Amino acid sequence: MASAPIVKATDLRNILPNDELLPLKNRSFSADLIIGGGGLGGCAAALAALRNGLWVIMTEETDWIGGQLTQQGLSCPDENPWIETIGGTRSYRDLRTAIREYYRNHYPLTTQAKSNQYLNPGNGSVSRLCHEPRVALAILMELMNPYLSSGRLILLLQHKIIAADVDGDQIRSVKAQDLKTGEERILSAPYFIDATELGDLLPLTGTEFVTGAESKKQTKELHAAEKADPGNQQAFTLCFAMDYLPGTNNIIDKPKEYTFWKNYIPQLTPPWSGKLLDLKYISPRNLKPKALGFNPAGAPADDMLNLWNYRRIIDQANFKSGFYLGGITIVNWPQNDFLLGNLVGLNGKEYKKTIERAEQLDLSLFYWLQTEVPHADGKSGWPGLRLRGDIMGTETGLAKYPYVRESRRINAVFTVLEEHVGIENRNLVTGKKEGNHAAFFYDSVGIGSYSIDLHPTSAGNNYIDIGTYPFQIPLGALLPVRMQNLIPACLNIGTTHITNGCYRLHPIEWNIGESAGMLVAYSLRNKIALHGVRASPDKLKDFQDFIRSQGIATQWPKDIVSY
């Protein structure tokens, strides 16, 4: 695999890494760090490594970087209550500020909206910063552009890593395929980061990993399954964008699987509330049926949650009169969680078929909203709804890539368990009912806070929603038990099926990626192995001082939680 001519990243400093200028065939590229996957964790890892002097190559399957915020359409970030000032890294908060400034600088905001320090362009109820995927993409590319221009970063869009050259517990190189042309490139480096959404580098490199649900016997977790099941994974969601133009008729052709999805009843335990395409679902907190509302023209009756407002990314009221003909919302609802199969481990043909069925679910949900969803006044359907492909960067209005909640996870030096972060389980193992807190991790490389939020699974489990204490991110969860020069940077860290539910959110993924990129930079600078940083108390303290100096908090302030 290493026989092709090698072009070092440093040799490319005077050319732009685009399709026209990159060598087309039989070329190898080398850098300090190879990152597979350009999602939030990958971007954070790349930027952290680059600002600390490394040369980086990053691959991305789609033509957009940004993961959850962009190509997956989840541009209403799931965050903690303190995110404006704490609970995320400094660079993550800078990213959020830049998104707001982009609207102030380029959009015709009302005077009131423009002066709002905490501008929320969509005023969606789920997040303090509901915005368009393209704006997040613009900011991320703005951050990358200086490194692209200098050649310090080679960004291989629409490339997928398909093979690896491994020598024992060391990766020597990986092979990336251009998904447009089929051509292959060899990428070599002393260190590799797996920031793919499904943990694709783990099986390719022989890195030990786990999928699905562990058993109570294995983890002793209060809410773990009675029986381990690698296929018991959370549903993924293919998000889509739509707006509403009153008085218009935009009804799409009836989807080919509409009859199936209209009548589909999820087979879950505890039972679902009825049909999936309905304005009620099972409340994650108490697993009881809960009514929802949908009205793109106003609020539903009886103060129900209006799904239109839930992940709305453009609220007309924030912009000068007439600029938007209608508001825009992202659909990531219980009604388009795909429960009929997982994505992990599928071959190309199986993957394509599963995505096609998820597309049919989306289109069926959209058609149902246009034609059959009940109104409070007894009418049905909103024909003025319109799919917005331009918002998602696609022809269909559906996201470029599915929103993945569960990935392969490394067998880590340290695995985060429910007893470390979950309120009920933590109180049980400590014997404390008051004044408690999450477990203290001496090797902390970041912080996060979110409930353990598990969506229904393909194996038939209903929601699990568990309160947590504000927690830390242990370095041991980023270190594989055996592989020496590969670390994860997103959903694939050392968590369980249960604790993945609180470590998978936007600011936490960014923190994981940023810490991973800085770990590689520190290791190279100090000529120490990745695992050696954690093994040495002095080096660990020095590394923690290093990341703190660049805005990564390693513990929560005492006024929020005391360790």
Structure tokens at 419: 């007893």
**Which one of 392, 427, 444 terminates a domain?**
392
DSSP collapsed to 3 states, 159-216:
EEEEEEEEECCEEEEEEEEECCCCCEEEEECCEEEECCCCCCHHHHHCCCEECCECEH
Q: Quick one: 214 and 240 in the same domain?
A: no
Provide the H-helix boundaries in 237-327: 258-263, 307-310
- Single residue among 364, 392, 420 that ends a domain in this structure: 392
Helices and strands (H and E) in the chain: how many? 16, 24
Q: What pLDDT is recorded for position 559?
A: 85
The torsion angles phi and psi of 289, rounded to 5 degrees, stand at: -55, 140
Residues 307 and 428 in one domain: no
Q: Kindly tell me if the per-residue pLDDT of 20 is higher than 90.
A: no
Q: Is residue 498 part of a domain?
A: yes
Instruction: Answer whether residue 491 is part of any domain.
Output: yes
Measured CA distances, 560 to 80, 96, 470, 522, 563 (Å):
12, 22, 8, 30, 10
What mean pLDDT is predicted for residues 538-556? 98
User: Is 160 part of any domain?
Assistant: no
Q: Which pLDDT does position 5 carry in this prediction?
A: 37
Distance CA 236, CA 404 (A): 5
Amino acid present at 472: Q
The verdict on residue 45 lying in a domain is no
The pLDDT value given to residue 558? 87
**How many separate domains does the chain show?**
2
On the question of pLDDT at 378 being above 60, the answer is yes
Q: How confident is the model at residue 24 (pLDDT cuts 50, 70, 90)?
A: very low
With a CB cutoff of 8 Å and minimum separation 6, the contacts of 446 are: 89, 472, 473, 508, 511, 512, 514, 515, 547, 552, 553, 554
Task: Answer yes or no: do 291 and 332 share one domain.
Answer: yes
The whole-angstrom distance between residue 52's C-alpha and the CA centroid of its chain comes to 24
Q: Is the dihedral of CA 525, 528, 530, 536 positive or negative?
A: negative
Task: Give the DSSP letter of residue 477.
Answer: G
Contact between 401 and 70 (Cβ < 8 Å): no
Note whether 413 and 481 are same-domain residues.
yes
Banded pLDDT at 219 (limits 50, 70, 90): very high
Instruction: Say whether both 343 and 362 belong to one domain.
Output: yes
Three-state DSSP class for residue 462: coil
pLDDT digit string, tens, across residues 68-92: 999 999 999 999 999 999 999 999 9
Note whether 523 and 443 are same-domain residues: yes
Which pLDDT tens digit goes with each residue over 147-202? Answer: 999 999 999 999 999 999 999 999 999 999 999 999 999 999 999 999 999 999 99
339/315 same-domain check = yes
Q: Among all chains, which residue has been given the structure tokens 């069925």? A: 357
Please tell me the predicted confidence (pLDDT) of residue 300. 63
pLDDT band at 12 (very low <50, low <70, confident <90, very high): very low
Q: Examine the domain organization and report whether 482 and 516 are in the same domain.
A: yes
Rounded Cα gap, residues 441 and 495, in angstroms: 14
> Which residue is it, tokens 């490139």?
185
Same domain? For 278 and 354 the reply is yes
Q: Which of 528, 532, 548, 377 is nearest to 472 (CA)?
A: 548
Domain boundary among 347, 363, 392: 392
Q: Does 517 fall in a domain?
A: yes
pLDDT tens, residue by residue, 231-279: 999 999 999 999 999 999 999 999 999 999 999 999 999 999 999 999 9
CA distance linking residue 507 with residue 14, whole number of Å = 34
Count of beta carbons in the 10 Å neighbourhood of residue 303: 8
Q: What is the pLDDT of residue 303?
A: 67
Alpha-carbon distances, residue 401 vs 67, 72, 161, 290, 540 (angstroms)? 8, 5, 16, 29, 37
What DSSP character marks residue 46? H
Average pLDDT taken over every residue of the chain: 94
Model confidence pTM above 0.85 = yes
Pairing of strands 191-194, 486-488: parallel
Give the number of other CB atoms < 10 A from CB of residue 64. Answer: 26
Q: Are residues 485 and 526 in the same domain?
A: yes
Instruction: Please give the pLDDT value at position 16.
Output: 35
Q: Is residue 15 very low, low, confident or very high in pLDDT (cuts 50, 70, 90)?
A: very low
pLDDT at 143 > cutoff 60: yes
Do 69 and 281 contact (CB within 8 A), yes or no?
no
**pLDDT at residue 102 is higher than 50:** yes
Domain assignment of residue 399, yes or no: no
Same domain, 269 and 311: yes
- Domain assignment present for residue 544? The answer is yes
State the alpha helices, DSSP H only, in 206-301: 216-219, 258-263
At residue 17, does pLDDT exceed 70? no
What is the per-residue pLDDT for 27? 76
pLDDT confidence band for 560 (50 / 70 / 90): confident
Range of the domain at 462: 210-232+409-549
With a CB cutoff of 8 Å and minimum separation 6, the contacts of 152 are 9, 13, 50, 54, 55, 56
162-170 — which CB contacts under 8 Å span 24+ positions?
162/204, 163/1, 163/204, 164/201, 164/204, 164/205, 164/206, 165/1, 165/2, 166/205, 166/206, 169/482, 169/483, 169/484, 170/483, 170/484, 170/485
Question: Is the peptide bond between 270 and the residue preceding it cis, with omega within 30 degrees of 0?
Answer: yes
Which pLDDT tens digit goes with each residue over 288-341?
Answer: 999 999 999 877 655 689 999 999 999 999 999 999 999 999 999 999 999 999
d(CA 443, CA 476): 7
**Whether residue 409 has pLDDT greater than 70:** yes
Same domain for 214 and 264?
no
Q: What's the pLDDT score for residue 301?
A: 54
